[in-house]
A = this chain, B = another copy of it.
Amino acid sequence: MADDFILTCPSPIGPRATIQLAHGGGGRLTRGLLEQVFLPAFDNPALAARLDAAVFDLGGARLAFTTDSYVVDPLFFPGGDIGKLAVFGTVNDLAMVGARPAFLSAGFVLEEGLPLDDLRRIVASMREAATQAGVELVTGDTKVVGRGKADRCFVNTSGVGLVAAARPIAPARVRAGDLVVLSGDVGRHGIAVLSVRESLAFETSIESDCAPLAAVVQGVLEAGVDVHCLRDLTRGGLATALNEIAMDSGFCVEVDETAIAVTSAVEGACELLGLDPLYVANEGRFVAFVPPEDVEAAVRAMRGHAVAKDAVVIGRVVEGRGSVVLRGRLGGRRWLDLLSGEQLPRIC
């Protein structure tokens, strides 16, 4: 029992405990905060489902609703910026419950002294991203705090969409035998951000994979695939997403390391930095859990979209108890555990 406690609560969370960077990392501590602070306070089915977006009925419409705050440092990085990230991130959370994203909000917290040109550049990027993703930014808010009270610019985007999937898309629908399809190579977003933050120069420039995923999800649904579960691979990367689904479904996920694509540039950077690419954040990658009879159609539909042209089956769901097992390159097997925090803070 003591071990159990340590597993679910690795940091002191008593009356004098404080927020640590790892609480925002998407790993075990973030999950602890959700389970110990937020879920007990707001007890309702939509929140308890723990999906990327809440799903509910309102005025006869089946809607999805989600929010994300973005604190990425630096604001501009190869392949994207905080504005593009904020639009695509929220669009993708709606896509992951099978919704067509429709309307976004934007809430800015700006630090006094931020160059207006930086704000203009961020806003222009948001407009371009919104156009690309087919959503409209319809409401917003701006607050300003004094110097040293924020870090240049934080952006919150919330989004509303119409649920298009006929059946729920959620960990609860995952079954033994389901196959796991990964939409492309992993690790680029985190390494792209880190390379600027730490002023690292790699032989090949590594660009964030930041991209909107609603169209490809729509394509999979239109191909008649009975999608059981979807998850984008943001904070904590592929390993964290698979762990969440394994824990929330109560099944075991087995993945084949050789099937997971990592570019040599990302692999090299990860080796240099001591990072595991399976835990590095992505912003345009996702996994789909589909029944075996639908997997061919799912892979074909995904490959029809540029953002998922390298989609492959990387694993399967087996009976088990909420864990993830990696079959390695040399044939060995190891647990792919949930980390305490994120390897890289402020990645999104």
Q: Is the CB of B21 within 8 A of A112?
A: yes
Q: Is the CB of B144 within 8 A of A23?
A: yes
Q: Assess whether A8 is interfacial by the CB under 8 Å rule.
A: no
**Shortest Cβ distance from A122 into chain B, in angstroms?**
10
Chain B residues whose C-beta falls within 8 Å of the C-beta of A44 in the assembled complex: 136-138
Q: Is the CB of A154 within 8 A of B63?
A: no
Rounded to whole angstroms, the CA-CA distance of A17 and B123 in the bound complex is 16
Q: Assess whether A201 is interfacial by the CB under 8 Å rule.
A: no
Chain B residues whose C-beta falls within 8 Å of the C-beta of A53 in the assembled complex: 139
Q: Assess whether A117 is interfacial by the CB under 8 Å rule.
A: yes
Known contacts: A60-B59, A139-B47, A160-B65. The answer to whether A145 contacts B71 by CB under 8 A is: yes
Q: Assess whether A202 is interfacial by the CB under 8 Å rule.
A: no
Rounded to whole angstroms, the CA-CA distance of A138 and B53 in the bound complex is 9
Q: Is the CB of B105 within 8 A of A67?
A: yes
Rounded to whole angstroms, the CA-CA distance of A19 and B41 in the bound complex is 37
Q: Is the CB of B109 within 8 A of A66?
A: no
Q: Is the CB of B102 within 8 A of A158?
A: no
Which residue of B69, B107, B124 contacts A68 across the interface (Cβ within 8 Å)?
Answer: B107
**Shortest Cβ distance from A270 into chain B, in angstroms?**
23
Stretch of A30-38, A241-249, A258-266, A311-319 at the chain-chain interface: A30-38
Q: Assess whether A106 is interfacial by the CB under 8 Å rule.
A: yes
Q: Assess whether A58 is interfacial by the CB under 8 Å rule.
A: yes
**Shortest Cβ distance from A255 into chain B, in angstroms?**
27
Which residue of B62, B143, B345 contacts A24 across the interface (Cβ within 8 Å)?
Answer: B143
Q: Is the CB of A60 within 8 A of B58?
A: no
Q: Is the CB of B60 within 8 A of A144?
A: no
Q: Assess whether A156 is interfacial by the CB under 8 Å rule.
A: yes
Q: Is the CB of A141 within 8 A of B67?
A: yes
Q: Assess whether A214 is interfacial by the CB under 8 Å rule.
A: no
Q: Is the CB of B66 within 8 A of A119?
A: no
**Shortest Cβ distance from A50 into chain B, in angstroms?**
10
Q: Assess whether A327 is interfacial by the CB under 8 Å rule.
A: no
Chain B residues whose C-beta falls within 8 Å of the C-beta of A107 in the assembled complex: 67-69, 107, 156, 158
Q: Assess whether A126 is interfacial by the CB under 8 Å rule.
A: yes
Q: Assess whether A10 is interfacial by the CB under 8 Å rule.
A: no
Q: Assess whether A334 is interfacial by the CB under 8 Å rule.
A: no
Q: Assess whether A115 is interfacial by the CB under 8 Å rule.
A: yes
Q: Is the CB of A58 within 8 A of B141?
A: no
Chain B residues whose C-beta falls within 8 Å of the C-beta of A23 in the assembled complex: 110, 142, 144
Q: Assess whether A176 is interfacial by the CB under 8 Å rule.
A: no
**Shortest Cβ distance from A121 into chain B, in angstroms?**
11
Q: Assess whether A132 is interfacial by the CB under 8 Å rule.
A: no
List residues of A whose CB falls within 8 A of some B CB: 13, 15-25, 30, 33-34, 37-38, 41-42, 44, 46-47, 53-54, 56, 58-63, 65-71, 102-103, 105-117, 119-120, 123-124, 126-127, 130, 136-146, 148-151, 154, 156, 158, 160, 162, 345-346, 348
List the 6 closest pairs (A to B, CB-CB), nearest first: A59-B61, A24-B144, A158-B158, A67-B105, A54-B138, A46-B138
